Structure 1
């Protein structure tokens, strides 16, 4: 700031250096007095001119500083739309930026309701923030009511230098005091969408230049709010489009996997039988082991395909994810030159998860990270408990989550491709199917979870998985069973595939059971009723869940139980993750067995259900 006193001295010194100086007029002749008077007048004129220049420069400096702060606020608000934020969070951050950059005592954004009848405070920021937050969201005005309501009605800004002198202003229950106020409309394409309010505790605190800048700022904020809404709608449409793509793929995948599982049932079933009949020391035994291992790998492939289908709903159990994550990551990196570091919080909460599917997600993401680092590197996997607050994120509802982060130092993902990486068949690699990330996305979505990615091209990527924490503290433990359970009794098997019927017949006969068949549900119902009425009832039924072109197990068991409530049935399907398979007891089944059949698991399930009293 330039001082006036120093300028006055400088002017007088300038005249003195040129031989002129202020003098007393009574000591001069008339001619000299006239000259001296002109000199004195010139000095005074120069002083006034200099003071005017100083004021202009000082005002320009103040305006420049205000403009810089406004532009700084514009830049920061503009950056908010790089994130996916709820409208409330976007407006909240906007008011915080305005308050910090422009030093207002209070700032708030009010938006119209859908019927254009009311204004509601969507976000506010105040130096007395704690008091404001208790009441700000309760503030609702009718259109036309109060200063803000009038602005929303007319679309014209209103400036109140001193609210005490404005009868139309009234104190609202917002927990803050106001001395002077500027309310400006938020307008999008000639439609008034809301009002933004700037206020100070003291009156007479807004000058003309500040008001002009704030009017321009309100126009920019209007566009940013509109852009935020467009971004959110675009995100929602992208999610819908991705879901349709996955559903289309699921229809195809489900059919392929169903047929493939039937073939694998015949292969694995016959291998199991042959292994039971020969000595482990036989030369052919290792060959059978190799075929069996290859078939089991094929089962994993079918399960990946089924993830996309409607039969891919996870069979959830209360699970601790820590060991599962470590085992899956280490398995994926076997023989790799990539190091893996684990950062795990203490007391990680359990989640409701399908272990097989969640393991597949970790495996896919770790493989993806490994492929992004062809020259080696390090993967950092972090597991944390995290609380998501209400309205903190557009994607993630409020609650406790287990967050799994998988970070690599690889090539990164170009910004323009980030929206496509979860699409089926999309890949930038020479190898691979383009299904890994799509499968991961589908699985996490089916777990009511969320998956996000942050990446910078050339610096690496981090995938964050959010799984809802379970309210159940006890963990469901799985026990392995290597025992073969023999039995006896009459078994009715309903399956439409001949190769499956032949395989399961040999397996059941080997276990000691009598076997008869039905191809679909209506035949099974008829045979069951006839056997029951002829005093040769079936002890148990194994029913295929899905029969193309016929009645499946879910509908058939309903009619059988109406006829005989004591009927015992096991549901069977290649769709291991079908909701009926996951909740089989709800549909009247007493047991469940997935295709392809494993001999020992089949024997155990039959033994268990047969002995239910």
Structure 2
């Protein structure tokens, strides 16, 4: 039955009208109060758009003024990416929103806010909180945005202290920027690891099935070596985000060059010629980073020669004397030269080549050569370029070096062979929201003798574990991804399972876990750590170890 004013008693109608008036009055005063707040206050919808991100549901007057929009008009309907100054700032904000969903609590980042009134973008601190209901369903996001130029928002000055200097503000701004870039890099590394996961598992399994086909095995081995390099690189990104310095040691540059040239040149129509000097010194370096730099330079050269041709990769010893170079310190070096015969680089672009946002490629992001420069400078070396239009381009990399070593240090890859599979018996619950990886892991474990149950969210994982435990057949191993989309994340799911069954055996799997933080998860009740992307053999080995550990207990 539809209610109308005619069907209601007069006193009931009066009560409803009074309640409605009270709500309107309360809403008015609440809006006036929020408009007086000196920070921008935003409420964003939970749903997101691929193009602009979550849209604004509510904004106060300060937010409109900061963006350069009339307060009466407001920002409703704008996406979070529309409010950011550029792609980098938008990516930082979206990553901050994702972290708020995955980890809960308030998260902070620094990004430039756009201004539509002709003013320059304004650096701001964005405080983000994800709002959930009692069932852990995401309702919306609340954001408080503070201009960074405000001294009180930048540095908490103690009572009676002198105001912060410009240098203090700049230093604080740089630290915030580094923290944001680190968080963004870690998020990207996590996503890349998830993409590499299904391919790594499947390929490592296939390699163990083609023993009688040497040609195919060699091709697959080459691809697998590239995946392992990518895995090492993303692991380094995660480690770098945690501010732990890398250890450098003498590395066999000859082996790195041959290995990298073979991988980077595979499938191209360019012919790469390698020439190495006698008694070539060993740079004191991170082998994976040096390989990444050379790979980037080689691929750039190949792209500059779409019709094919010859490329040179040379390496020779060189010495820098006192006062001989403006950048390099005096000492012994090794110089690696990557030379293509492509279209060349215009003179006006050479100065901008290593800038963070510069690129001439329609689909490029301009960070490849910048990353190379940062890597080499981190090794106390330098990278230089010379180029002539329609003749070619030459990159020279200088690295401090020591005499050639005879020890086994400096090998690029510990072992290119895949980890062997391990058969066993037991019941495994896979909790992962990456469908492809979950299904491949299911296939591998089932073939190796295990019973497998899978699900893609924390709520179902808890229900499945409870159900199996009540029948006396709890999972022997739970493979728990940390970053489950929506609802409970992996940490919350694991805690809920351990509350129900303190003897549960959980193994954490995530693209953002590396060796440096494994102990912290073991202290939280996990019995093992399986960083993504993992191989098929690594998957079966850790499951076998946990099941065996249970049988001995």
* TM-score, normalised with respect to structure 1: 0.42
Q: TM-score, normalised by structure 2?
A: 0.46
Determine which structure has more spread, i.e. the larger CA radius of gyration: 1
Higher relative contact order (CA 8 A, sep 6+): 2
